[in-house]
Amino acid sequence: MARPKARLGPAATTRAGASRAARGKAIGLMLATLALAACGPSEASGAAGVAGPTAAIMPSEPSPSEPPLGSLPVGPTEAAHVVRIVDGDTIVVDRGRGPEKVRYIGMDTPETVDPDTPVEPFGEAATAANAALVAGADVVLERDVSDVDRYGRLLRYVWLRVTGPPSGWLMVDLELVREGYAQVATFPPDVRYVDLFVAAERAARDAGRGLWAGP
């Protein structure tokens, strides 16, 4: 004869229901944990609806800082030997194809050789300063945009390699402006260093050097 089933009282029924609910909640949490583990970090955080931990981004190696503009040639260059000094802003060079005139870019010095113009004040001093820098020297010619001017002269920035100390590069065009032997004269499109020339002339004026010396 089958034993009669025992009937649970209200308290027992409540405890049993709570126990089943707790087990169901535990199983649900376990399944959710397994599902999250199967996902990638970004998927898991998206499923949870909150931002998950982000991967640490290692900083890249810092790139070497670029040298200041005007501290070395940056355009197309070629080597040449200075054959003769014409005046403060023009020289004759040999690039391996015979003598050629080079007109410095970005500046102008007082006239000394134009047959239709008298020698201008400070012109001879500018010529002497140019000669002191490059007479008989091996130089590097840097091209901007134009190759020649309307007179067929090469348009170039002229650089000297300085062995130091300190060692480095010297742009002759800019140095003559900086020392007050020349003033800025720019003609687009050849304006790569125009800001440097303007600043150099301003400094020469403020210091009263060369052309800008007082009476």
Report the relative pairing of strands 154-162 and 168-171 from DSSP bridges.
Answer: antiparallel
Residue 63 placed within a domain: no
Q: What is the pLDDT of residues 134-146, one digit of tens each?
A: 999 999 999 999 9
CA angle 204, 136, 181 (to 5 degrees): 15
Q: Are residues 30 and 132 in the same domain?
A: no
Q: Both 100 and 185 in a single domain?
A: yes
* Nearest C-alpha neighbor of 89 from the set 213, 207, 186: 186
3-class state of residue 136 by DSSP: coil
**pLDDT value of position 28:** 52
Active site (catalytic) residues? 103, 111, 153
pLDDT along the chain (215 residues), means of 10: 46 46 50 46 42 42 74 96 97 98 97 82 94 98 98 98 88 98 96 98 96 84
Residues 39 and 87 in one domain: no
Q: What's the pTM?
A: 0.69
The CA distance from 145 to 178, in Å, is 23
In a domain, 200, yes or no: yes
> At 6, is the secondary structure helix, strand, or coil?
coil
pLDDT for position 121: 86
Instruction: Output the domain CATH number for residue 88.
Output: 2.40.50.90
State whether 84 and 156 are in the same domain.
Answer: yes
Q: Which two tokens stand for residue 214?
A: 């007082």
The tens digit of pLDDT for each residue in 172-214 reads 999 999 999 999 999 999 999 999 999 999 999 999 999 999 7
35 in the same domain as 126 = no
Specify whether the CB–CB gap between 184 and 131 falls below 8 A: no
167 assigned to some structural domain: yes
What's the domain range around 31? 15-47
What number of other Cβ atoms are within 10 A of residue 198's Cβ?
Answer: 14
CB-facing half-sphere around the CA of 215: CA atoms within 13 A: 0
Same domain? 22 vs 109: no
d(CA 171, CA 162): 10
User: What is the domain count for the chain?
Assistant: 2
End-to-end Cα separation, the chain, in angstroms:
137
Determine the pLDDT at residue 117.
79
CA dist 203 and 110 (Å) reads: 19
- Residue 170 in any domain: the answer is yes
